Amino acid sequence: MNETLKNIKARYSCRDFAEQLPTNEQLAAITQAAIQSPSGMNRQFWHVIAVTNKALIAEMEKEGLDNLRKMDESSYQHLQSRGGTLFYHAPCMVFFAVKTAQPAGAELIDLGIIAQNTVLAATSLGLASLHCGFAAFVFAGNKNAHFKNKLKFPDGYECGMAVLLGYEKSPGIPHEPDPSKISFIQ
Ligand SMILES: Cc1cc2nc3c(=O)[nH]c(=O)nc-3n(C[C@H](O)[C@H](O)[C@H](O)COP(=O)(O)O)c2cc1C
């Protein structure tokens, strides 16, 4: 198996991060891999924001949990049963701000690709990661402008999602792929 296939196989969703920060060199390499992503018509309707400010991450987590509780009670309860954190103590978050494409929704494909490039680059550097769709709840309440301002979103951009990055505190295992999800037609 080559290195790319090994990294794809090794990646898993980490929900227990250690305090140790990724280095600036690691973050530079990971964000560079992110913006190397393809996008429809090379529109690059994304902006990548790496956050390591502990106080800001804590403030965003509180707001995200508050909004989730008000807007999606069952997901909120699910998180409570898992330890009550939204960001699992991750010391670093990479946000992807996105601009709506035409046709609307097409930007979400680009978003998925850039997020996956990010986690695979992180895996290749020995870091743990998690795709965090719930990070969008940080922006779902009346502090939307406040957090967009803090994260310096470009004008007209909204939160797509975030990726959590760091070192695993306890080891996790990749999910078992289901071979019945593949067909070959010859
Ligand atoms: C678009 C997307 C959003 C996700 N959002 C969250 C999230 O907010 N919180 C979380 O704990 N896991 C989240 N996940 C992780 C999935 O639950 C996880 O990928 C899935 O259970 C498969 O496990 P694996 O990533 O370990 O293979 C998200 C995954 C994707 C692809």
* Domains: count for the chain: 1
Nearest CA to 163 out of 126, 132, 123, 137 is that of 132
Ligand 1, CB cutoff 6 Å, lining residues: 12-13, 15, 130-134, 174-175
Tokens encoding 129:
């990661």
The rounded distance, in Å, linking the Cα atoms of 154 and 144 is 14
Q: What's the Cα-to-Cα distance from 176 to each of 2, 52, 130, 163, rounded to whole Å? A: 19, 32, 17, 21
| Tokens 């870091």, located at residue | 127
Nearest CA to 48 out of 175, 163, 145 is that of 163
Flag whether 176 is in a domain: no
Name the residue at shortest CA distance from atom 9 of ligand 1: 132
Residue 162: give its domain's CATH number. 3.40.109.10
Flag whether 110 is in a domain: yes
Flag whether 186 is in a domain: no
Flag whether 76 is in a domain: yes
Distance 134 CA to ligand 1 centre (A): 9
Q: Which atom of ligand 1 is nearest to the CA of 172?
A: 26
Flag whether 73 is in a domain: yes
b/e burial code for range 67-89 (CB count within 10 A of at least 16 → b): bbeeeeeeebeebeeeeeebbbb
Name the residue at shortest CA distance from atom 10 of ligand 1: 132
Flag whether 26 is in a domain: yes
Residues 162 and 94 sit within 8 Å (Cβ to Cβ) = yes
Q: Which atom of ligand 1 is nearest to the CA of 135?
A: 8
For position 79, what pLDDT does the model report?
93
Flag whether 12 is in a domain: yes
For position 47, what pLDDT does the model report?
98
Flag whether 98 is in a domain: yes
For position 181, what pLDDT does the model report?
98
For position 82, what pLDDT does the model report?
87
Q: Probe ligand 1: pick from 17, 81, 131, max atoms within 8 Å of CB?
A: 131
Range of the domain at 138: 3-166
Per run of 10 residues, the mean pLDDT along the chain (length 186 residues) is 97 98 98 98 97 98 97 95 95 97 93 98 98 98 98 97 98 96 98
CB-based contacts of 82, cutoff 8 Å, min separation 6: 15
Most distant CA pair in the chain: distance in Å?
A: 56
